[in-house]
Copies of this chain bind each other. A is one copy, B any other.
Amino acid sequence: MSFTVLNPALPLGSHIVVLHMVCCLFKVLIKDRSSAKKVLIVYAHQSSGSFNAAAKTAAVEVLKSQGCTVEVSDLYAMNFKATATAEDIKGDIKEAENFSYLKETRLAWEEGRLSDDITKEQTKLTEADLVIFQFPMYWFSVPGILKGWFDRVLTSGFAFSLEKLYSQGVFKDKKAMLSFTTGSLESMFSPTGVNGDMNVTLWPLQNGILHYCGFQVLAPQIFWAPSCASPEARQCMLEGWRTRLQGLLEEKPLSFVPLDCFDKKGFQLKPDVHEKHAGKEFGLTVGVHLGRKLPLHNQMKAGC
């Protein structure tokens, strides 16, 4: 489309109409830009030649092509500090002899005295609509450098409080997801496999960190043992990820139990909720299982 804004062959009124149309189009473009989704990728692999790097690059490319703004926190390249220490706080420590990281960082956050590297990550998080954590699974969990990111960036007050937890959490309007590679085959992470059910292994990460802060948690993207796969199979995994990324922002999240189903004192399931589920075969989630069978795929697929 092209506009001839000033054509001497047209009367002045026509010029005004055309200018108005141009202004309207600019407004639409500006609005589109401001409502474009912002994505933060927290990436934890040492090598740019790795499968994790390729998965990260695929996410950047596909999401950008959809008009998203994508920011990457490349933790190893940033030499991100993974230990929660008093150095994370500027100025005085209130109780140096009985140092509590939780309490001191909460106070520092309230007073704008957190270290610059933490504040920078918190700003990125505040701006993001979707956060993707891309990492190789180390020891049934995230690598130490990413655990350090969770420990240090998700400060009390900033990311959660006693009043703002889970479905009523600080980040309840944001989405987050884990995207990771395993060393083990898929069969090993089943309810009859030697490593046990992957749904169990994911609970502390997806419920205990992401959903605890309110995030709507999208199903994890699991790349099963790419180091044991052929180059073609690895390529196929990446293609699957690219396809998924195209619809990622419209995906429904995993199911958790809403916070108002628990009482405010001991955070126990309210009797009426319990009664409503009496006699059912399956529990509500992997963790809130009520002594029943775990709901199938609860931490792996939306709506389970």
How many of chain A's residues have a CB under 8 angstroms from any CB in B?
76
Number of copies: 2
Interface residues of A in 220-247 (CB under 8 A from B): 227
Contacts of A50 in B (CB 8 A): 98-100
Would you give the 0/1 interface string for A27-64, flagging 1 where the beta carbon is closer than 8 Å to chain B? 00000000000000000001101100000000000000
Q: Are A262 and B193 in contact (CB under 8 A)?
A: yes
Which of B99, B188, B209, B291 touches A49 (beta carbons < 8 Å)? B99
The reply to whether the CB of A26 lies closer than 8 angstroms to some CB of chain B is: no
Would you give the 0/1 interface string for A190-209, flagging 1 where the beta carbon is closer than 8 Å to chain B? 11111111001101110111
Q: Are B82 and A274 in contact (CB under 8 A)?
A: no
Q: Are A144 and B151 in contact (CB under 8 A)?
A: yes
Interface residues of A in 75-111 (CB under 8 A from B): 76, 80, 82-86, 97-102
Q: Are A46 and B193 in contact (CB under 8 A)?
A: no
Contacts of A84 in B (CB 8 A): 46, 138, 143-145
Which of B98, B147, B196, B204 touches A207 (beta carbons < 8 Å)? B196
Contacts of A214 in B (CB 8 A): none
Q: Which residue of B lies closest to A204 (CB)?
A: B140
Q: Are A46 and B85 in contact (CB under 8 A)?
A: yes
A204 to B292, CA, bound (A): 20
Q: Are A201 and B287 in contact (CB under 8 A)?
A: yes
Contacts of A139 in B (CB 8 A): 147, 150-151, 154, 204, 208-209, 212
Q: Which residue of B lies closest to A269 (CB)?
A: B192
Query: A interface, by DSSP: helix, strand, loop or mixed?
Result: loop
Q: Are B209 and A266 in contact (CB under 8 A)?
A: no
Which of B138, B144, B288, B293 touches A196 (beta carbons < 8 Å)? B288
A127 to B302, CA, bound (A): 47
The reply to whether the CB of A70 lies closer than 8 angstroms to some CB of chain B is: no
Q: Are B46 and A101 in contact (CB under 8 A)?
A: yes
The reply to whether the CB of A157 lies closer than 8 angstroms to some CB of chain B is: no
Contacts of A267 in B (CB 8 A): 184-185, 187-188, 193-195
Q: Are B140 and A209 in contact (CB under 8 A)?
A: yes
Q: Are B196 and A289 in contact (CB under 8 A)?
A: yes
Shortest CB-to-CB span from A225 to chain B, Å, is 11
Q: Which residue of B lies closest to A86 (CB)?
A: B46
A197 to B208, CA, bound (A): 11
A289 to B138, CA, bound (A): 23
Q: Which residues of A contact B (CB under 8 A)?
A: 46-47, 49-50, 76, 80, 82-86, 97-102, 138-145, 147-148, 150-152, 154, 165-166, 183-185, 187-188, 190-197, 200-201, 203-205, 207-209, 212, 227, 257, 259, 262, 266-269, 274, 283, 285-294, 296
Closest 10 CB pairs of A and B: A196-B287, A140-B208, A144-B148, A140-B204, A187-B266, A82-B82, A49-B98, A47-B99, A194-B267, A144-B147
